Copies of this chain bind each other. A is one copy, B any other.
Amino acid sequence: MQTSITTYDDKPHEECGVFGIFDRQAKAALEVYYGLFSLQHRGQESAGMTVSDGESMETFRGMGLVTEVFRNFPGKDGYIGIGHVRYSTTGSSIPSNVQPLQVDCAEGPFALAHNGNLINTAPLRQQLLQSGADFQTTMDTEVIIKLIARSRKAAVEDRIKEVMGILRGAYALVACTDHAIYGVRDPFGYRPLVIGKTETGFVLASETCALDAIDAQFVRDVLPGEIVTIDDDGVHSTMYEPAVNHRRAICSFEYIYFARPDSVMNGQSIYQARLNMGRALWEETHYDGDIVMSVPDSGNVAALGYSYASGIPYSEGFLKNKYMGRTFIQPDQKQRERAVRMKLNPIALNVKGKRIVLIDDSIVRGTTSGIIIRMLRNAGAAEIKLCISSPPVKYPCFFGIDTAERRQLIAAKHSVEEIREMIGADELHYLSQEGLAKAISCLRGEDMCFACFDGKYAEPLPESMEARVK
C-alpha cells in the first residue's frame, strides 16, 4: 500500500506567496527562509529562493515545505534575495516548474517570482515562439521573463512597465538583479503585495505576517499598477498608466480564507474582517443554539464573531490533528468519512445533545460538509445550523485561485435548499455578498473582485475561458 498526497478538505487553493529583501546588513538567505516560512499557508507544494551578493546569483528550489526544501541550507551569502512558495496553478508541479526562475539576460542575471495567473499566456507564448523563443518550462513566469528580456528599454523598471502593457490577468511579482529587487502589482490589484522596512533595508512580501516574521515594519501596500524598485538608494516608485482607466479588483477570498488572520491587507485586518463576517452572519440569521463552533481553523474567527454578536457561547467542537503532513495513507473509498475523521474528531462533550451553530468559510465542491455534519450527528448533536462566511461559489477563478471547474462547484448547479438537503444540515445560510462587502470595511465594494460569486469578472475573458464560465 502506497501513501499518497491528499488534503481531505474542500477548500480553494491559493497558488503562491512571494517575498524579497534588499538589506546590506542581512543574511538574505536566512531572511527569505523566515519570510517564506510565514507565507507557507499560501503554497505547500514547492519552495525556492534566489540569493545574490552583488557579484553573482544562485537559485535553490525543491518540492515540499520550506523546512523540507531547505533542510540543507544554501551556502550562498548575500544581501539580495527573493523567494517563492507555490501551490501549482498553471504548469504542473514538476521540479522544473518551481520558482523563482533565474535566467541570464543581456544585462546579467535576473530572477522572478510570480503570484497570480495570466489570462493571455497562450497568445503571448505563441508570439514568442514565432519570434524564435524556446521555452524550458510551462509557467507564466517564463513568458513574463522572456518579454522583459526582449524589451529594448534600458532600465529594468521601464522594461517591466512596457511588459505590463501586454500582460492580462493577475500578477504580483518580486524580481531581482545583482543590484536591486523589484515589486510589481497588476493594475487591478488582484493579488496582494506589501513593502516593509528593516533597520537597514527593505522587504517585499505577499502578506504583512512575513514582515512580522523578520521583525520588519510595515510601510505600505504596493499599489495596483505600481512598480517598486529597491536598491542602495532606497525605494523608488513608477506607476504603470494603463490605456484604459479601469477599476480595481482586489480578491475577496484573501479575506475570507487565504490570508493569515494576523495579516493586514490593503489596510484591512484579516482578523477584523472575519469577525465582521461572523457578526454579519448573526445579523442575517439570528439562529438560536446552545453553542457556536467552527470547522477549524479557517472558521474560528468568524465563529467568535457570531458568538460575540449573538451571545451564544463559543466552543471547540473538533480536535484537529496537526500532524497530517503531506502524505497520508489513502483508505478505500468507503472509508472516506474515516479519513476526514483522522483530521477532525468531534469533541463529544461539546456536541452531545447540543443545538449547534456551525461556522465554515466556504463550500466549494461540497464533499466534506456532509461528512462533517454526519460526524456531528453521530456524536449526538441535536441540531446543526451551518453558516458559511461567504456567498455560494458559482464561477471559476482565472486570476490565481484554483477553486474548481464550474461543473464541480456545488452551488453552480444547486439551490441553497438543495445543498442543505444534500449535506444534511438543519439550516444552511451563506453570507450575502453585501454582508461580505461590508465586512471588508476598509475597502469599497467596487474595488474588490467577487467574480467567483457573481460571475462579474473585472476584465474581458478570452474565449476559451468564457466557455468554462457557462
Contacts and interface: CB of A to CB of B under 8 A. Distances in A.
Interface of A: 1-3, 29-30, 33-34, 37-38, 40-41, 44, 65-68, 70-73, 75, 101-106, 110, 129-130, 132-136, 138, 145-146, 149-151, 209, 212-215, 260-262, 264, 269, 271-272, 297, 300-301, 304, 308, 313-316, 318-319, 321-329, 331, 338, 341-342, 345-350
A283 B442 CA distance: 40
A136 B102 contact: yes
A325 B65 contact: yes
A316 B301 contact: yes
A149 B132 contact: yes
Given A1-B30, A67-B326, A304-B314, 10 more contacts: A1-B75, A2-B72, A2-B73, A38-B342, A68-B325, A105-B135, A209-B319, A212-B345, A213-B338, A260-B319
| A interface majority secondary structure | mixed
A446 to B, nearest CB: 25
Copies in the complex: 4
Contact of A262 (B3, B271, B338, B348): B348
A215 B338 contact: yes
Contacts of A146: 132, 134
A132 B138 CA distance: 19
A67 B325 contact: yes
Contacts of A301: 316
Nearest to A313: B308
Given A308-B313, A342-B34, A70 B3 contact: yes
Contacts of A328: 67
Contact of A316 (B304, B313, B342, B347): B304
Contacts of A68: 325
A41, A138, A316: which has the most chain B beta carbons within 10 Å?
Answer: A316
22 contacts: A1-B30, A2-B72, A3-B67, A30-B331, A33-B329, A34-B338, A34-B342, A38-B342, A41-B323, A67-B325, A67-B327, A70-B329, A73-B329, A103-B134, A103-B136, A106-B129, A132-B146, A260-B319, A262-B348, A300-B316, A304-B315, A308-B313
A41 B320 CA distance: 11
A214 B342 CA distance: 8
A327 B327 CA distance: 17
